[in-house]
Amino acid sequence: MDIDSLFKVPKFPTSGNKRKMPANPTPEMLKKMRIESEASEKGIETLPNSPGGKSKTRATVEDAMDEDEDPSFAPGGDADYFIEEDEDGRFYGGGLTSEQKDILNIFERAGDEVLAESDELTITGIRRTLLKFERAVSKNQDQRSKYPDDPTKFIESEADLDNAIKSLLPLAQAPALAYSELVRSETIVLLVGLLSHENMDIVIDVVEVFHELTDEDVGEEADGNEEDSEGHAASLKLLIESLLENSIMDLLIGNLKRLNEDEESDRQGVFHILGFFENLVGFNPSLATDLVLKTNILVWLLQRIQSKKHDENRGYAAELLSILLQDNQANRLELGKKDGIETLLKVASQYRRRDPVDAEELEFMENVFDSLCSALNEPDNKMLFVEAEGPDLMVLLIKEKMESRSKSIKTLDYAMSGPAGTLNCQAFIDALGLKTLFSAFMGKGTKKHKSAALPLASEDTSHILGIISSLFSNLPSDSPERIRLLTKFVENNYDKVDKLLDIRDNSLSRLRVADAEITRQKKDVLADGEEISPEDEDAWYILRLDGGLYTLQTVDYILAWIAMEDDGIRLHLSQMLSRKNQSLKDVVQTLRIYHDNVGEDSNSTYDAGSTSQKAILQGLILALEPT
């Protein structure tokens, strides 16, 4: 019998960026190999494809017992075969030869060693692991300093160091115990120091450890309660503070330049670095500002997303960029200073004539546009968007009707909003964007939305309404651009006015459902003997906005503008509303709610001559009120 064959473990493919687990045989593998070994010894053929995934055996001719064979002799030569059952009805004998028993004893001892590994997560085991790591670092440094030109002299210590670093990965399962020891023993200092190691494999190992130790799910393997979660958070905070004190961010950014992504291991290293930064910002969002303003990560990310070949790290770079720009004014302004607006437009232009090839690239494209939208919350970046001909590109992307169409409409909505979006509004008109926009609004050239009314206000429709609203707010009165806009609502027998009324009816239907839910909640509050608080009122207003009020306000805002500026539209609008027992007074009522809940437009401070949204609403109400 070939004993070595029992220890051969089949090689399984490793998944993408998951850690490679040790190639130890599982109990299921050992059981299967034992059965196959017994079968080969007894001349039994194994049938692998049996129902339920279990192997069946088929006896061969050799299995038949000879008539002359002594029936008292134990099968397989098992000396324990005839031993009596114990009181629970279990056999002490297993039907195995002595050789097979020896082999199984070896496996059993190995299993005991595996079970003993759980003891390593005690405080004693953790300190033993850290001490082993420190000795490996010291030995490797000593060997490298003695024999700097002879790798054969320190290669063994390097392998030991590699194993010692990997042994730190399980510490993420016990953060409350391990992290304080990592900091107290200054193991963190040694780990951070290894980021400057000459061997990039060692550096990648260290980065993987940092990525694992700072994961948001650390300690989930253990049964814990709320107190455990708080303890894990405190331990993670201690660890991250220690890493920051040792300049972890600068060292990791420096290693991004050392890594060659043509190599698989280096690609893994880049992935772990990006993952570590995501963990860092996820734990403390304020660190996003330090990461962008105090390191060169922004420049690296902008360069990485420009790669022509798409891969996982390119997608991860776009995702991290989007995270860093969310709700962070300082980072958005820094993006503008680094020519980030032009870079993002350049990447977005790749999807003018083609769609992403798979779901991963689609997510990448969405993150690029989301980063652009975040950046366009800043007035300074809106100016850069015009200078980089952003409105022209967005109009072209909408015309092509590719996957990027919806994201382009959303981007224009962000670019043209507020007083700072005036130049973008004018550039949009100059790029012949009105024809393209209203074609999308009316559903022309697409297979969906055959009927005039939309079943629900889609995201595209909401952003198109936002763009039209911004055009009316920002384009000067009696300007050629504004006249061209108004003409769109007059042509084709006011079909676009009718489209607005269809969307309005749909929003009213949705709003009735939301109001019914609010009424139910109010009854519940009063039934419990509680008073309705201002916080409740605010929550219900937000519920109404989500339930159709926001779309209704935007539609009525547009209707008020066109009714005020064109008598023909006003007459047509009054006639269409009267058919549903409504009038312009209903539009005015919506505008009053809008006026009472909108704050003074902070964007108006960007242009001292601009009019606040509240003042515009008041003017529209006065213009329509006499009717």
Digit-coded pLDDT (tens) for 257-312 = 899 999 999 999 999 999 999 999 999 999 999 999 999 999 999 999 999 899 99
pTM above threshold 0.85: no
Q: Is 611 left (phi over 0), alpha (psi -120 to 50) or beta?
A: beta
Q: Is 616 helix (H, G, I), strand (E, B) or coil?
A: helix
Q: Is 107 helix (H, G, I), strand (E, B) or coil?
A: helix
**What percent of the chain is predicted at pLDDT more than 90?**
65
Helices 297-304/248-258 angle, 10° precision: 30
The per-residue pLDDT for 178 is 92
Quick check: 556 and 504 in contact, CB under 8 A? Answer: yes
Average pLDDT over residues 362-372: 97
Distances from the Cα of 565 to the Cαs of 248, 588, 591, in angstroms? 61, 16, 17
The per-residue pLDDT for 66 is 47
Residues 341-344: contacts with CB within 8 Å, 24+ apart?
341/372, 341/375, 341/381, 341/384, 341/385, 341/388, 341/390, 342/384, 342/388, 343/302, 343/305, 343/306, 344/368, 344/371, 344/372, 344/375
In the predicted model, is pLDDT for residue 21 greater than 70?
no
Quick check: 63 and 42 in contact, CB under 8 A? Answer: yes
Q: Detail the DSSP E strand segments found in 124-252.
A: none
Helices (H), 378-479: 379-387, 390-400, 404-416, 422-430, 433-441, 459-474
In the predicted model, is pLDDT for residue 241 greater than 70?
yes
What span, in angstroms and rounded, lies between the C-alpha atoms of 515 and 547?
8
Quick check: 443 and 418 in contact, CB under 8 A? Answer: no
In the predicted model, is pLDDT for residue 506 greater than 90?
yes
List phi, psi (to 5°) of 277.
-65, -40
pLDDT band at 546 (very low <50, low <70, confident <90, very high): very high
Q: Which of 52-61, 106-115, 163-172, 554-563 has the lowest mean pLDDT?
A: 52-61
pLDDT band at 119 (very low <50, low <70, confident <90, very high): low
Quick check: 335 and 297 in contact, CB under 8 A? Answer: no
What span, in angstroms and rounded, lies between the C-alpha atoms of 584 and 607?
32
The per-residue pLDDT for 281 is 95
Average pLDDT over residues 492-517: 95
What span, in angstroms and rounded, lies between the C-alpha atoms of 425 and 292?
31
pLDDT band at 44 (very low <50, low <70, confident <90, very high): very low
Share the mean pLDDT of the chain: 82
* 46-90 per-position pLDDT tens digit: 444 444 444 444 444 344 444 444 544 444 455 454 444 444 444
List phi, psi (to 5°) of 45.
-90, 135
What span, in angstroms and rounded, lies between the C-alpha atoms of 402 and 394?
12
Domain ranges of the chain: 3-117, 122-284, 502-624
Position with higher pLDDT, 89 vs 139: 139
Quick check: 273 and 256 in contact, CB under 8 A? Answer: yes
The per-residue pLDDT for 68 is 46
In the predicted model, is pLDDT for residue 224 greater than 70?
no
Q: Which residues contact 606 (CB under 8 A, 6 or more apart)?
A: 379, 418, 419, 420
In the predicted model, is pLDDT for residue 13 greater than 50?
no
The per-residue pLDDT for 516 is 94
Helices 550-565/584-597 angle, 10° precision: 120
In the predicted model, is pLDDT for residue 560 greater than 80?
yes
Q: Which of 233-237, 333-337, 484-488 has the lowest mean pLDDT?
A: 233-237
* 163-195 per-position pLDDT tens digit: 999 999 999 999 989 999 999 999 999 999 999
The per-residue pLDDT for 598 is 83
The per-residue pLDDT for 84 is 47
What is the widest separation between alpha-carbon atoms in the chain? 118
In the predicted model, is pLDDT for residue 19 greater than 50?
no
Q: Which one, of 76, 263, 30, 279, lies nearest residue 175 by Cα?
A: 279
pLDDT band at 609 (very low <50, low <70, confident <90, very high): low
* 24-42 per-position pLDDT tens digit: 445 555 455 555 555 555 5
Position with higher pLDDT, 299 vs 604: 299
The per-residue pLDDT for 149 is 84
In the predicted model, is pLDDT for residue 561 greater than 90?
yes
The per-residue pLDDT for 106 is 63
